Amino acid sequence: MKITNARLIVCSPGRNFVTIKIETDEGIYGLGDATLNGREGAVASYLQDHLIPCLIGRNPFDIEDIWQYFYKGAYWRRGPVTMSAIGAIDMALWDIKGKALQTPVYNLLGGKSRQRMLCYTHANGRTLDDTLEKVAEKMEMGFEAIRVQSGVPGLEKIYGVAEKGKAYEPAIRDGLPYEETWDTAKYLRFVPKLLEKVRDTFGEDLHLLHDSHHRLTPVEAARLGKELEAYDLFWLEDTIAAELQQGFRLIRQHTTTPLAVGEVFNTIFDCQQLITEQLIDYIRMTVSHGGGITPMQKIASLAELYQVKTGCHGASDMSPICLAACLHLNLSINNFGIQEYMGYPDLTEEVFPHGYYFERGFLYLTDQPGLGVDIDEDLAAKHPYQQAYLPVNRLTDGTLYNW
Ligand code: KDG
Ligand code: MG
């Protein structure tokens, strides 16, 4: 089998997505998700100008060699743009191989390690009471694990909280980045009260998660982790800016609240120290930004040695193709922990018809060959790309801060 063509489909059915479609001389094609929120054009150009010309004529079954060719062969390694581009190609090649061999990708990765996958969704509100309502709604839908975010008194706009009546979407498709304001003291005072109330209201069986979105220092994170111990979190996510891997040592020394990090990582080197020193409990890298299924299998194997579980990033700014790729990986590995699952607007679901499904708190894969996701190109063409930016964040005195 030979790769004859590869092209990009850039569309915006509710939000922007970049998809690669790799075609072969046997009529089989594979799909990969190359979406990098707010930087879509950079990945598209990296693929179009630099990777796709080197793909044509290759045997799509040589997945490891093609991955190494684009990773080692480029000399310039790592980074979210490069790795998202390689990740999209890798996903599409696994899709092709599964379709050619008439089997789901999880069978190529070792087969099923479980029947279904626990997932968590988001509940958020502008006030504590709004947030409680949202948690009740999500439990009604069957979710057994819920990430809880809330507006903080005294802060106008905050990460993870939707406009009233809308689904949360941080990337705004209109104009330049908008600015949020941050005050760590206000946040640290409020969050323990929030989680105490949620735990008291909904009881001990619900898995609770919370995301600090990289805004604390190690000592602040240690304090928060300690204060949240009483509310038995499933995990506390992205406490500090994750470049500082050794910063997790300090957090770890002070708290037994489970820690998760990794949605902004893109290679094994970003989490090597965190895993081998057992500084985290969950690695949050996802298939698209982590360079594909091929390196994510290796990361999961490294994590398994140190009893670290996976919790793939699955926000709705990765397309259903990436979610499906995560599910095939999750199903096949022993150290799967949980999958993030926000769901998608109806229009996105129509553009990307898929075989996986959600039922009462768990995600399931069907036995469709490959990844089990397709793209409706005609519908996608009716929703062209719109420039979009993630917000930036400033302290109340105007200092630029982590978003
Ligand atoms: O594009 C950025 C989002 O994917 C990110 O902010 C979502 O933190 C996030 C999460 O945990 O889903
Ligand atoms: Mg996060």
Q: pLDDT digit string (tens) for 179-203?
A: 999 999 999 999 999 999 999 999 9
Between CA 210 and CA 225 the distance in angstroms is 11
3-class state of residue 125 by DSSP: strand
CA distance 400 to 379: 40
Least Cα distance to 37 among 254, 286, 218, 240 occurs for 286
Residue owning the nearest CA to atom 1 of ligand 1: 37
Q: What is the three-class DSSP state of 285?
A: coil
Please tell me the pTM assigned to this model: 0.97
Residue 159 annotated to the active site: yes
What are φ and ψ of residue 365, in 5° steps?
Answer: -105, 145
pLDDT at residue 164 is higher than 80: no
Contact between 186 and 200 under an 8 Å Cβ cutoff? The reply is no
Using the atom order of ligand 1, give the atom closest to the CA of residue 314: 12
Instruction: Tell me where in the chain the CATH 3.30.390.10 domain(s) lie.
Output: 3-104
Per-residue model confidence (pLDDT) at position 396: 93
Residue 340 Cβ contacting ligand 1 at under 6 Å: yes
**Mean pLDDT across the chain, nearest whole number?**
97
CB 281 within 8 A of CB 259: yes
User: What's the 374 CA to ligand 2 centre distance in angstroms?
Assistant: 27
Question: What superfamily would CATH give domain 108-369?
Answer: Enolase-like C-terminal domain (3.20.20.120)
Please report which ligand is nearest the Cα atom of 15: 1
pLDDT reported for residue 83 = 98
| Residue 90 Cβ contacting ligand 1 at under 6 Å | no
Ligand 1 centroid to residue 145 C-alpha, Å: 17
The DSSP result for 133-144, as a single string, is HHHHHHHHTT-S
Active-site residue, 213 included: yes
Q: What is the mean pLDDT of residues 261-285?
A: 98
Average pLDDT over every residue of 212-230: 98
Per-residue confidence (pLDDT) for residue 379, from 0 to 100: 98
Residue 257 burial (CB count, 10 A): 25
| Residue whose structure tokens are 């805004």 | 215
pLDDT score of 165: 75
The structure tokens 């490959």 sit at 370
CATH architecture of 3-104: 2-Layer Sandwich (3.30)
Distance 200 CA to ligand 2 centre (A): 24
Q: How confident is the model at residue 166 (pLDDT cuts 50, 70, 90)?
A: confident
Q: Is 211 in the pocket of ligand 1 (CB under 6 A)?
A: yes
Residue 175 has pLDDT above 90, yes or no: no
* Predicted local distance difference test score (pLDDT) of residue 173: 76
Q: Where in the chain is the domain with CATH 3.20.20.120?
A: 108-369
